[in-house]
Amino acid sequence: MEYADLEKEKQMIYQNRQVLYQTFIGDVENVMLTQNHNFDKYKIESANQQAGEKAYIEEKTKELQYNRNHIDLDLKHINEETNTVTENMNKQIKDYVGDQQELSARKTELETIVERIRRELQEKEEELAEVTKNFNKVNTKINSITSKFDDQLSKIQKKR
């Protein structure tokens, strides 16, 4: 009997094992189904998110291109306006450039003459100072001599 009991026990163990394996396989299949479902859900959500982001990027790209076109157009107008103003300025200046050059040369010439005259004036003022100094010395001597003789003339006049 022991063999039969062992055989029964062996059969029970196999049956329990088989039930455990089937339960395990069922659990694994349930996990796989859940993961597949979650993966499919994630794929759909990711695709929707990517589509939304792509639409946003395309919208922003269009806005940027629109702004870039306006900036380019504004820059073109600014350059045209700058060129027009520069041309008008150059047209008006053109008549005066020759005069400016002539006047610049004349100004330089006059500055040279004025500088020469200033040097001559400085020399003449120094000469005048020297002559004035000598003149004053001579006047002082004359006054001194006259003063001496005035006393004598005064005495002579009193005698008269």
- Count of structural domains, the chain: 1
Give 106's pLDDT tier (boundaries 50, 70, 90): very high
CA distance to 21, 25, 35, 117, per residue, from 18 (Å): 5, 10, 25, 131
**Which domain, by its residues, includes 91?**
1-160
- Residue 89 CA to residue 100 CA, distance in Å, equals 15
pLDDT digits (tens, 9 = 90+) for 49-100: 999 999 999 999 999 999 999 999 999 999 999 999 999 999 889 888 888 9
pLDDT digits (tens, 9 = 90+) for 115-139: 999 999 999 999 999 999 999 999 9
pLDDT given at position 25: 87
**Residue 160 predicted with pLDDT over 80:** no
